[in-house]
Amino acid sequence: MALNKTALIEEIAGKANASKSDAQRFFDAFTEVVTDSLKNGEQVQITGFGKFYVQKRDARQGINPQTKQRINIPASKVPKFTAGNALKDQIK
């Protein structure tokens, strides 16, 4: 079972004893801050939870699975998340 955005916001509101609209605003602010930080080349590290960062992928060649032709895949940047030790320990 996956927790979608709406259900996550409801869970946050319940745990924080806040309204859903407040939880929505806080969640939106959190995602905006993380996104802006990653765009600026910064990492976001939350002690005990994890680290959000950007990883660079070099340009490479791939194969189109439908046509079997070689294609050039351009360099890109992808967001990554690494779980912290405290989060890993909670999941065990």
Q: What is the pLDDT of residues 20-72, one digit of tens each?
A: 999 999 999 999 999 999 999 999 999 999 999 999 999 999 999 999 999 99
Question: How many structural domains are present in the chain?
Answer: 2
Residue 27, Cα to own-chain centre: how many angstroms? Answer: 13
pLDDT for the residue 2: 87
Q: How far separated are the first and last CA of the chain, in Å rounded?
A: 18
The CATH number for 84's domain is 4.10.520.10
Question: What is the amino acid identity at position 17?
Answer: N
pTM comes to 0.81
Backbone angles phi, psi at 48, to 5 degrees: 85, -15
Cα 25 to Cα 33: distance, rounded to the nearest angstrom: 12
Within this chain, do residues 87 and 76 fall inside the same structural domain, yes or no?
yes
Backbone angles phi, psi at 82, to 5 degrees: -120, 125
Within this chain, do residues 47 and 92 fall inside the same structural domain, yes or no?
yes
Within this chain, do residues 37 and 47 fall inside the same structural domain, yes or no?
no
Of 75, 73, 43, 79, which Cα lies nearest the Cα of 61?
Answer: 73
pLDDT for the residue 92: 83
Within this chain, do residues 49 and 61 fall inside the same structural domain, yes or no?
yes
Within this chain, do residues 48 and 92 fall inside the same structural domain, yes or no?
yes
Within this chain, do residues 55 and 16 fall inside the same structural domain, yes or no?
no
Where in the sequence is the domain holding 75, given as residue range(s)? 43-92
Within this chain, do residues 30 and 56 fall inside the same structural domain, yes or no?
no
